[in-house]
Amino acid sequence: MTVATLWKRFTRRRIWIRSLVQLFFFVLIALIAVNHTLAESGQGISWLSNASLHALCPFGGVVTLYQYATTGSFVQKIHESSFILMILGLLLAVLFGPVLCGWVCPLGTIQEWVGKVGRKLFKRRYNHFVPARLDAVLRYARYGVLAWVVYMTAASSTLIFAEYDPYFTLFNFWSSEVAIGGAVILGLTLLSSLFVERPWCKYACPYGAVLGLSNLFRVFRIRRNVGTCKLDKACDIACPMNIPVSQRTIVRDVQCISCLECTAEAHCPVAGTVEFVAGGKKS
């Protein structure tokens, strides 16, 4: 039995499994964040007290790359665990694409939860408020954010993005560590999620920009069988990142988050039409 076959069997009930995985990591990160705050006053779970958001953020490994390469040290507040998680995240992305974005990231998860409210309010208009031409331009913005964060971190040797990071703010809004900039960006992100699905992921996330590049060469890809496709665009409607899957044979879009919502097991009415396969060829 191939890895692709095992994955297909695992993902036949993917909708609830993915939701369960997302909930697990959201609760886990929230628990760690709250416990870290309690530990500072001598409370909390002792064996978990050293864990922090910075230690669990794989993007921390990305922003500290320059300093580590030049001095052998990490940027302040960045832990060795972030470096290890960065490597694991990249390995997963090479194999399966940005699964951290689609299955693990708590900020992506809460955007989806808020988006469910927006979908009920606006029905078919939800996730289609931004004009296509403007949307196409805005999607390059996250590469600008990535370049700015990496440069400023390298130049200042400080974790400057923490002041603006909505992920950090989400799990620290009760503490004095949260900056006004981060609170404003988190608020705008959640508000925008009522109209656009995963707005931070699409237009601003620097780590998503890094992982998204894996879609160009990942081992396991999303493939559309042209011969059985009815062109009803069910896959396009299901895609949270607005990728026109019905116009692709192999999805190599850098915006793909490997959520697999477009696949036949989820929304495509014809079995075997949109599949998750190795190398773009049917297994």
| DSSP character string of 146-201 | HHHHHHHHHHH-S-GGGGT-HHHHHTTTTSTT--HHHHHHHHHHHHHTTTSSSHHH
| Span 101-141, pLDDT tens digits | 999 999 999 999 999 999 999 988 999 999 999 999 999 99
d(CA 90, CA 188): 29
Are the CB atoms for 112 and 240 separated by under 8 Å?
yes
| Span 67-85, pLDDT tens digits | 888 888 888 777 778 888 8
What is the model's pLDDT at position 50? Answer: 61
What is the model's pLDDT at position 179? Answer: 83
Q: Which residues contact 207 (CB under 8 A, 6 or more apart)?
A: 58, 59, 62, 101
List the one residue out of 162, 181, 170 whose CA is nearest residue 106: 170
d(CA 236, CA 244): 5
- The residue written with tokens 């237009």 in the block is 203
Are the CB atoms for 184 and 102 separated by under 8 Å?
no
What is the model's pLDDT at position 162? Answer: 86
d(CA 96, CA 214): 9
- The residue written with tokens 């699905």 in the block is 197
The HSE-up count of residue 56 (CA atoms within 13 Å, CB side) is: 22
Q: Which residues contact 282 (CB under 8 A, 6 or more apart)?
A: 223, 225, 275
Q: What residue ranges of the chain have pLDDT lower than 50?
A: 1, 6-7, 9-13, 282-283
Distance of CA 199 to the CA centre of its chain: 11
What is the model's pLDDT at position 282? Answer: 45
d(CA 88, CA 66): 19
Strand partners, 278: 220
Domain boundaries, the chain: 3-214
Could you tell me the pTM of the whole model? 0.85
Q: Which residues contact 254 (CB under 8 A, 6 or more apart)?
A: 209, 212, 213, 215, 216
| DSSP character string of 78-119 | --HHHHHHHHHHHHHHHHHSSHIIIII-HHHHHHHHHHHHHH
Q: What angle do CA 41, 74, 86 make, to 5 degrees?
A: 95
What is the model's pLDDT at position 194? Answer: 97
Question: In the numeric block, which tokens belong to residue 261?
Answer: 């919502």
